[in-house]
Amino acid sequence: MAKEKILVTGGAGYIGSHTVVALIEAGYEPIIIDNFSNSEESALAGIAAIVGRSVPCHRIDCTDAAALRGVFEQEQNIAGVIHFAAYKAVGESVEQPLKYYHNNVGSLVALLQVMGEFKVTNLVFSSSCTVYGIPESLPVTEQTPVQKANSPYGNTKKICEEILTDLANSGSRIKSIALRYFNPIGAHPSAKIGELPLGVPSNLVPFITQTAAGIREQLTVFGDDYDTPDGTNIRDYVHVVDLAKAHVVAVERMIGGKVEAIEFFNVGTGRGNTVLEAVQAFERATGEKLNYKIGPRRAGDVPKIYADVTKATEVLGFETTSTLDEAMKSAWDWQLSLQDKSKK
Ligand code: UD1
């Protein structure tokens, strides 16, 4: 039987590249679209080294409907699309909101138009737990009310979910699953693909690994006066390899015709960990001592959030298998492999 083709926008990116590997392992034929604005060609080599063959990649921008049309014409018989391509830096989005609205919202609209033209009806969309804002109760379920976004980045995720809902309600044949990610961390156990932050990382785990590697001097823990057991923020850190598998089961559900309009799923572990627990997990898993200090709160941080993943478990059959320590170890192995490459 011919393998089903899945178009993966942003397939050279952090979550995208891990998902491409997971799709191949599950018997799908992923086709990557990426403009490499926040990813590197080396991700394609890393994927190829893991799966033993190269994966087709179209170097285009998803806001360009004509270029997208060219890909759909060339590829034919696309069974579904996973749309990762988006900007994700919260602070930058506050400074350059139009860049975020143009790219994140514009690419989804262009993609949906072209999917409609080519009668491709299945979409899995990368959303974020940012849509829940500061939740009133924990853990958050998919029924937890969505709140006003506290950054343009967060607003693009909220708007994109609304666009997909409006489209589904319009009678369109396009159905979607929006996966609301909690905090993706870690890297493929082979250390051939992982996160490649541009410049100074704003996310915790790449900052930790770069500090341990001596690229950054010291990690600042943003506040220890929150209402949590040790005073630092609580997040739900999910291993990117587990997160990647959520996309495979979502695609399976879509292709099986089980989605009637739009469905939302939290994708996390169901466990909350403080920043200091994350630091301790890193130290325990790697044997490295981390230089850190407690600093002031970071504006816009949610004090605590973690997922209820019952729906993803029951409906998608999603499960996580990695511990926080394993995720930290894989992030460190990836960091070490980057150091090795830069020495060569
Ligand atoms: C952030 C965004 C989220 C987005 C995600 C994608 C906010 C409020 N949320 O998640 O919407 O989907 O990035 O990139 O911006 N921390 C430190 N020191 C550091 C870095 C982080 O203490 O140097 C702490 C933070 O205060 C937070 C935790 O580590 O408690 C995780 O931070 P981070 O990795 O930036 O993710 P979020 O802020 O949860």
pLDDT of residue 228: 98
CA of 93 to the centre of ligand 1 (A): 14
Q: What is the pTM of this model?
A: 0.97
Contact 181, 264 (CB under 8 A): no
Across the range 114-135, mean pLDDT stands at 97
DSSP per position, 218-264: -EEEE-S-SSSTTSS-EE-EEEHHHHHHHHHHHHHHHHTT--SSEEE
Q: pLDDT digit string (tens) for 10-52?
A: 999 999 999 999 999 999 999 999 999 999 999 999 999 999 9
pLDDT at 1 > cutoff 60: no
Q: What is the largest distance, in Å, between two alpha-carbon atoms of the chain?
A: 58
Distance between CA atoms of residues 118 and 115, nearest Å? 5
Q: In which band, very low, low, confident or very high, does the pLDDT at 185 lie, cut at 50, 70 and 90?
A: very high
pLDDT of residue 150: 86
Q: Is 218 left (phi over 0), alpha (psi -120 to 50) or beta?
A: beta
CA of 13 to the centre of ligand 1 (A): 18
153 is an active site residue? yes
Across the range 144-158, mean pLDDT stands at 95
Q: In which band, very low, low, confident or very high, does the pLDDT at 342 lie, cut at 50, 70 and 90?
A: confident
Q: How far from each other are the two terminal CA atoms of the chain, in whole angstroms?
A: 43
pLDDT of residue 81: 98
The token pair that represents 178 in the structure block: 């929006």
Average pLDDT of every residue of the chain: 97
pLDDT at 344 > cutoff 70: no
pLDDT of residue 339: 87
Distance between CA atoms of residues 114 and 106, nearest Å? 12
% of the chain exceeding 90 in pLDDT? 96
Ligand 1: nearest atom to the Cα of 89: 14
CA of 298 to the centre of ligand 1 (A): 9
Q: In which band, very low, low, confident or very high, does the pLDDT at 194 lie, cut at 50, 70 and 90?
A: very high
pLDDT at 343 > cutoff 80: no
SS3 115: helix
Q: pLDDT digit string (tens) for 269-315?
A: 999 999 999 999 999 999 999 999 999 999 999 999 999 999 999 99
Q: DSSP strand E in 292-335: where? A: 292-295
Q: pLDDT digit string (tens) for 212-239?
A: 999 999 999 999 999 999 999 999 999 9
pLDDT at 251 > cutoff 80: yes
Residue whose CB lies within 8 A of the most ligand 1 atoms, among 132, 275, 290, 324, for a mutation test: 275
Residue 27 beta carbon below 6 angstroms from any ligand 1 atom: no
The token pair that represents 316 in the structure block: 């998608």
pLDDT of residue 338: 95
Q: Which of 14, 100, 153, 237 is catalytic?
A: 153
- Closest C-alpha residue for ligand 1 atom 20: 204
Contact 59, 35 (CB under 8 A): yes
Q: pLDDT digit string (tens) for 62-77?
A: 999 999 999 999 999 9
pLDDT at 107 > cutoff 80: yes
pLDDT at 2 > cutoff 70: no
The token pair that represents 103 in the structure block: 């790219």
Q: Cα separations (Å) of 295 from 34, 221, 223, 232?
A: 37, 6, 6, 11
